A and B are shown apart, each in its own frame.
Chain A
Amino acid sequence: MSQRLPEPWGLLIDRSRTIRFTFEGARIDACAGDTVSSALLARGDWLLGRSLKYHRPRGPFTLTGDDANTLIQLGDTHNVPAEQVPAQSGLTVTGQHYSGSLRRDRARLTERFARFLPVGFYYHAFYRPRGIWDYWERFIRRAAGLGRVNTAAGHGYYDKNYAFCDVAVVGGGVAGLAAALAAAEDGADTVVIERESLCGGGLNYHRFDAEGESGAKVRNELMRALEAQPRVRIWTDTTCTGRFGDNLLALIHGDRLTKLRAGRVVIATGAIGQPAVFHGNDLPAIALGSGVQRLMRLYGVRPGQRAVCVTANADGYGVALDLADAGVDVASVVDLRRTPDPDPRVDAVHARGIAVHTGCAIRHATERNQRVAGLRIVDRERIDDAAAPGVDFDCDLVTVDVGATPAVSLIAHAGGDVSYSESNHGLAIRSLPPGMHVAGSVCGPCTLTSAQREGQAAGRAAARAEAAALPDPTLRDGPTNDGWPIFPHSKGKEFVDFDEDLMIKDLVNATKEGFSSIELVKRFSTVGMGPSQGRTAAVNAVRLVADATGEALEGARASTNRPPAFPEKYGHLAGRGFDPVRYTAMQRCHEVADARMMVAGAWLRPAWYGGDRQEAINREVKAVREAVAVIDVSTLGGIEVRGEDAAEFLNRMYTFAYKKQPVNRSRYLLMTDDTGSIVDDGVAARLGEDYYYVTATTGGVENVYRRMLWWNAQWRLDVDIINVTAAYAGINIAGPYSRRALERLDSDIDFSAAAFPYMEVRTGHVAGIPVRAMRVGFVGELGYELHCPASYGEALWEQLMAAGEPDGIRPFGVEAQRVLRLEKGHIIVGQDTDNLTHPTEAAMGWAIARRKPFFVGRPGIEAREQHTLTRQLVGFQLPADTATLPEESHLVVDGEAILGRVTSIAWSQTLGRPIGMAFVSPAQAEAGRHFTIKAQRGNRIEAEVVDTPFYDPDNERQNL
C-alpha cells in the first residue's frame, strides 16, 4: 500500500517519473528523487537489516545514514547506507547479514542465547586452551560480518582531485550557509561542503515554530543570496571524511576523492539525534523525530498510521504537529520532563487536543511483525519499581527527540577538546584547534536565529583569519538534552549501541571486569567501533561508564575520534591506480623493432627484441660477441660535477681516486654508504680539469644525486652538481665490428685504436650529432658509449643501425646485457649486492683508494674489515646438462645450514653452460671448490666455483 503524502510534502521527489528496482527480489516502484530507504518506507517496509550479534530486525533510525541499521548490499558493493543510495532503475538491492531471508532470519535464534553471549565473550571463550580459536574461527567468521565481498571484482574508476580555497564550510545547514555568505561577502574564496543533495539541513524539514514556515523562508533567503555570490562554490552530495594537518580536508563525492586545502575551516556539521535507551528501543519504526520529518517533507512518505512522540524538548512537539498535519494519528506526546518549558509548539499541540504525558519514563516497546507495535510508559519516579502502573499505547511509529550530540569528528581530528558538560547534558566543545571555527548546533543546542548569527560571525572571522571563538552560551538557547534517557529493564534488550548489539548490562559488566576508562570499555565491549562510529552510542556510553565507575560525568570524554569520520572505499584511497613510466628518446625505434618492454626503475626498457625470449637473448648475445649490436642505455643516470673542487668532491663521494685521472679518460666509480656497504657504481668521464660527467645506475641515480647534494651542503666545496639523466640519450655500440660500423659515419672523432684507446673519452660529432663518446668495456667487447642530447637520440640510433647494417647489426635488450655482463663477472649493484655488502665481500677491494684522507663509507669499511669475513661473492658454473636452472635467491647450503644465496644466474650461450654469481662461505670461495644450491622443491645442485671473468679472462677483446 502506498504511503505517499500529497504535495507539498516531498520536496525532493518527482511523482511523474517512476523508478523500478528490486529489493530482496521484490519489485519496488519508486519516484525519481527517492533514496532506496525512502522508496521502501513508502511501501511501509521498515525492516531493512539484521543486527550484528542477535540478528534482531532493524530499520532506519536517523534516516540520514548515520546509523548502521540500514546497510544494504548493492550488487558487488556492500555496507552502503540505504539513505545514501539514490533509487535508480535496474538496481539490485538486498539486505545483509541473515540466513534464509531478511524477513525470516533463522539466525535470530541467537537472541535466545543472549545471556550466554556476555560482553567480551570471544575474549573469554577462546582464550584457552591454545588453538581453540583456530578451530572455531571458521564457524564464527561465517556467521559474522556484514555483506558479501566479491574478491574477483576489478579495479573500478576512482580519481583524485586537488582543490584550494580560503574558507571551507563543512555543513550546508543554516549556520553553514550563513557562514559561507559572510565569508564570501568579506572577499574569501569559499567552498560549502554538503553531504546531501540539497543544502539547508534542518531548514528543509524541521519545524521551528508552530506554523512550520520559518525554515523554508530562511532557506530561500540564504540560497538566493548565495546563488548571487560568485565567490562561493557549493558542493552537494559531498562528505568530508577527515581533517588532516593544516586544514587539508578529505572529501568524497561518488567515486572521487577531493583533497581540499583550506585556509580556514568553519565546522557547521550540526548535531545527531540520540536514541532513548529502553527495552525494545531498536525495533523498526522507532526513529528520530527529525528523521521522520525528513521522510515526510523531503520524500512525501507517511511514516505510519498511529504514532507516539517521545521527547524531552519542544522539537518533539513540532514532530507531533507535522505528523498530525500529515494525517497520522498521534496517540500521545510522551515528555520525559515533568514541566515542559514554554514554547509555541507545545501550546499548538495542546490546542489540537493531542494527549500529552509528562514526567514519563519508557518501560518497554512491544513488537509485532518485526516492527514496533506498542509502547508502555510509567511515571519517571517509579521506573525502578517493576510493579508501577503504566500506560500502554498501540502504535506503529515511535519518534524520539530526547537530545542530540554535536557532530564533532572533524574538530576532534584537528585536536580540539570535546567532553561532557552537565549544563548541556551532552558532549561539548571545550577548545578549538587552530584555523577552525564553529557555528550552529555543533556547539550545543541552539535556535534558528542563534545558528544564523553564529554562522555569520564564524564566516567573517574565518575570511579575515581572525582568532576563532566558541559561541557565548548565554546568547543561545535551544532544544534541551535529557540527562539520563536510559531506562534499564529486567529482561535487558535496551540497546546502547545498535551496530554492536550492546545493552546497558554489557557496558556495566565491562566496567566490572576492570575496564575502568571509556577507551578500555570501548576496546573490550567494542562500543562505538561499528560502522556508525558511535554517532548514536557515544553519549549514552559515556553516561553509563561514568555512572558505573563512579567517576565525574562533567568533563568525561568519549573515546578518541580518528579519521575517517565516514566510511571510505579502498578505491577512493587507491585512486586511478596510476603506474607511470618514463620512455627514452628511442621508444619509437624499440616499438618498430618489436621490443618486449620491462620496467627498470622509473623507466621502460627493451628486455629483448621479438619472438621467443631465450632464442632472442641467444641471438642478441651472439650478435655482440661475433658482430655488432646496440643497446639503449639512456636510463643510466647522468650527473655533471663542475667546479674547482670537482675532483676533490668525487674523491670524497666514491671509493676510488680521481685527482690524477687525466682529462679525456674515464674511471670506474664505486659508492658506499655510511656503513661501508656498496650502494652504486658507474663511470666518471673527465671532460676537463674541473668537469666530470658521472654515470650512475638506473635505479640508483636519484639517491646518488640526493646524497651528493646532502654531503656538499655540509662540505661546501666549490662544485655545481646537476642531474642530467633525462637530458641525455645514451647508446652503447658493442662487438668486434663496432669500430668499423662507427667509421662509416661522418665524424670529427678519430675512432682508430691508436687515436682512441680503451677507457678514453672524446667530445665531438657523429653524423652531425653532438656526442660524448666513451670507450668502455660495458659487455666485454670492443665498444663505445655515445651520449647525445635526448632530442637527438632517435636520429643517432637510426644512423648507427644504418651504419652497422652491412655487419648485421641488431639491437639488444636488458636480458642479453645481463648475460653478457655476467659472462664478464660484472656485478649488478642491488642484485649481486644487498644493503650489507661491503667491497671486500664482493671482491671489489681493488676499487678502494686507501691513501686518500676520507671518502663516504671509509670508517665503515675499515671497521668491518676488523671482523672475520662471513661470506664472499664468487662466480660459479653448472654442468651443461643441468635440467632446471636454480633461480636468483635460491640458498647455498651445507646440510640444512644456510651459507649464502645465488644472486645471478643465466644460461651462457657463449660458454655453453649455466653460469652465475653467489654468496658462499669464505671457506668455499676458492676456484675449483664445490658448493650446494638448494633449488626448486628442495633439489640439491652442485656448483663449482670458477674465477671471473668467465669469458675472456684477460680482457683482450675490449682492448682491440
Chain B
Amino acid sequence: MKLMNCPLNGWRNIGEFVYGGEVRPAPGADADTETWADWVFMVDNQAGVVREWWFHAPTSYWFIAERDTANDTLIRTYPAAEIFTERVEFASGEKSS
C-alpha cells in the first residue's frame, strides 16, 4: 500500500483515500448535450502526468493530486482552491421558483 501526502493530514496510507476521477471543470449550465455527455462519460485515462481528485475519507477532505500513471509515482498534492479560485455562478441566479 502506497502512501499519499494529504494537504490537510500529511502522509497517510492510500487506503484512507478515495479516488475521485480526473480534474476536469464542469461545462457551463448552458452547454449542449454533447458537451455534457462528454464530460460525464469520457475520461482521458492518460499514461503520464495526470491531475486527479482525491478524498481523505476519515476527515472528508477533497484535494488534488498530480501523479505519473506511467511510473506510478506521486508528484504533488494541493488544496482544490489552487485551481478553483473563483466562485462559480449560473446565469443570473434563480428566476422565479
Contact = CB atoms under 8 A, between A and B. Distances in A.
Main secondary structure of the interface of B (DSSP, over half): loop
Contact of B87 (A657, A717, A858, A859): A717
A851 B1 CA distance: 48
A741 B97 CA distance: 38
A720 to B, nearest CB: 12
B47 interface: no
Nearest to B27: A859
A851 B3 contact: no
Interface in B1-32: 1-3, 13-14, 18, 20, 25-27, 29, 31
Nearest to A714: B84
Interface stretch (A76-84, A394-402, A705-713): A705-713
A627 interface: no
Contacts of A651: 94
A853 B84 contact: no
Given A674-B40, A859-B31, A860-B40, A714 B60 contact: no
A852 B88 contact: no
Interface of A: 244-246, 248, 259, 261, 648, 651-652, 657, 659-660, 674-675, 705-706, 709-710, 713-717, 723, 849-854, 858-860, 862-863, 866
> Interface residues of B toward A: which range?
35 or more
B88 to A, nearest CB: 5
Interface string B23-54: 00111010101001101100000000000010
Given A715-B88, A717-B87, A852 B60 contact: no
Interface string B52-86: 01010000111000000000100000001100111
Contacts of A715: 87-88
Contacts of A660: 97
Contacts of B53: 710
A859 B84 CA distance: 22
A717 B84 CA distance: 11
Contacts of B60: 705-706, 709, 723
Contacts of B93: 648, 853
A716 B85 CA distance: 8
A852 B87 contact: no
Contact of B97 (A657, A674, A717): A657
Contacts of B72: 245
B50 to A, nearest CB: 17
B97 A245 contact: no
A501 B39 CA distance: 55
A138 B6 CA distance: 53
Contact of B94 (A659, A675, A723): A659
A560 to B, nearest CB: 16
Contact of B3 (A245, A648, A714, A853): A245
A538 B13 CA distance: 34
Contact of A713 (B84, B92, B97): B84
A258 to B, nearest CB: 13
Nearest to B37: A863
Given A246-B3, A710-B62, A853 B90 contact: yes
A659 B94 CA distance: 8
Contacts of B39: 674
A244 B81 CA distance: 32
A404 to B, nearest CB: 32
Nearest to B53: A710
A714 B1 contact: no
Contact of A853 (B55, B86, B95): B95
Contacts of A648: 93-94
Contacts of B81: 713, 716
Contacts of B14: 245
B95 A851 contact: yes
26 contacts: A245-B3, A245-B14, A246-B1, A657-B94, A659-B94, A674-B39, A705-B60, A706-B18, A709-B60, A709-B61, A713-B80, A714-B25, A714-B80, A714-B84, A717-B87, A849-B97, A851-B94, A851-B95, A852-B94, A852-B97, A853-B92, A853-B93, A853-B95, A858-B29, A859-B36, A866-B33
Contacts of A854: 29, 90-91
A683 to B, nearest CB: 18
A263 B33 CA distance: 50
A340 to B, nearest CB: 47
Contacts of A714: 25-26, 80, 84, 88
A863 B35 CA distance: 11
Pick the 3 closest A-B CB pairs, nearest first. Answer: A245-B2, A854-B29, A657-B97
Nearest to A660: B97
A710 B55 contact: yes
A244 B3 CA distance: 11
B86 A652 contact: no
A772 B82 CA distance: 38
B1 A245 contact: yes
B40 to A, nearest CB: 5
Contacts of B84: 713-714, 716
Nearest to B61: A709
A709 B55 CA distance: 10
Nearest to A722: B60
Contacts of B18: 706
A850 B88 CA distance: 20
Contacts of A705: 60
B36 A852 contact: no
A706 B73 CA distance: 26
Nearest to B64: A713
A853 B36 contact: no
Contacts of B85: 716
Nearest to A708: B60
Nearest to A715: B88
B36 A246 contact: no
B76 to A, nearest CB: 16
A713 B62 contact: yes
Nearest to B36: A859
Nearest to B86: A716
B80 A860 contact: no
Given A245-B14, A710-B55, A863-B37, A853 B94 contact: yes
Nearest to A850: B97
Interface centre among A660, A849, A859, A860 (most CB of B within 10 A): A859
A652 B87 CA distance: 13
A750 to B, nearest CB: 31
A921 B40 CA distance: 27
Given A244-B1, A710-B53, A862-B33, A675 B40 contact: yes
Contacts of B97: 657, 659-660, 849-852
A852 B20 contact: no
A154 to B, nearest CB: 28
Nearest to A675: B40
B94 A248 contact: no
Contact of B29 (A248, A674, A853, A866): A853
A587 B70 CA distance: 51
Nearest to A245: B2
A245 B17 CA distance: 15
Nearest to A863: B33
A160 B39 CA distance: 42
A850 B96 CA distance: 10
Given A652-B90, A675-B40, A850-B97, 18 more contacts: A244-B1, A246-B1, A651-B94, A659-B94, A659-B97, A674-B39, A709-B62, A710-B20, A713-B80, A713-B81, A714-B25, A714-B26, A723-B60, A853-B94, A854-B29, A858-B29, A859-B36, A863-B37
A25 B86 CA distance: 79
A245 B53 CA distance: 20
Contacts of A248: 1-2
